Amino acid sequence: MCGFLIASAIVVPSAPAAARALQIVALGDSLTAGLGLPAGQSFVDLLQKALRAKGYDVAIENAGVSGDTAADGLARLDWAIPDGADAAIVELGANDMLRGLDPDATEKALGEILARLQARHIPTLLAGMRAAPNLGEEYQKRFDAIYPALAEKYAVILYPFFLDGIAADAKLNQKDGMHPTEAGVEVIVERMLPSVEALIAKVKR
């Protein structure tokens, strides 16, 4: 009589893969890059920290380059915001204004950025800027109109003024009067947080 040994395979279910963190890219200038601030204290760093404290699993890439104009941001858009990005924050235009560039050129460059992101189905938050009063009433009127017009045209979330709450406040700006201190960045993040949460809500995963 022959005996047969039957080996049964035990299948152990594998653990589910960890969900990927939401990838947000902040495309901007020195205000995004964190010029003059200690490491880990930039707008991007503190925004990511604030979102994680509220339970959001996010990773924000700092694609800020000091001195960039809107046209500079457009020139590096495709590699600065790579495939796989879930959402974008666009903060550009301050250097255009400081250099007195034609608002039409700024609007055209920003519009092209938003159009390309729209074509790639990347939800976007547009952070606005306002012209300094010393540039004259006509320039101020034309420049300030750029951001609400583009937000309406491309159906993106608008945060009207990136420096809201800190502009012209010596206590919240560095000695140059243009870049926020760590305390200034905290004010920016606190005020912008609801708009960024609205951006996250638009992400389809």
Q: Smallest Cα–Cα separation from 36: which of 189, 173, 164, 192?
A: 173
Residue 15 lies in a domain: no
Burial (CB count <10 Å: 0-12, 13-18, 19+), residue 13: exposed
Residue 1 lies in a domain: no
Residue 88 lies in a domain: yes
Q: Which of 14, 102, 179, 195 is catalytic?
A: 179
Total structural domains within the chain:
1
The model's pTM is 0.90
Amino acid 156: pLDDT: 98
Q: Which of 96, 169, 176, 195 is catalytic?
A: 176
Query: Tokens representing 182?
Result: 């760590």
Specify whether the CB–CB gap between 46 and 185 falls below 8 A: yes
CATH code at position 193: 3.40.50.1110
Q: Which of 30, 42, 45, 96 is catalytic?
A: 30
Amino acid 18: pLDDT: 57
Amino acid 169: pLDDT: 96
Query: Tokens representing 196?
Result: 């960024």
Catalytic status, residue 57: no
Residue 156 lies in a domain: yes
Amino acid 20: pLDDT: 85
Residue 2 lies in a domain: no
Residues 121-168 have pLDDT tens digits of 999 999 999 999 999 999 999 999 999 999 999 999 999 999 999 999
Residue ranges, the chain, pLDDT below 50? 1-2, 4-9, 12, 14-16
Catalytic status, residue 86: no
| Amino acid at position 122, single letter | I
Q: Smallest Cα–Cα separation from 61: which of 91, 30, 24?
A: 24
Catalytic status, residue 42: no
Residue 61 lies in a domain: yes
Residue 13 lies in a domain: no
Residue 135 lies in a domain: yes
Amino acid 8: pLDDT: 45
Length of the chain in residues, anyone? 205
Q: What is the domain range of residue 48? A: 22-201
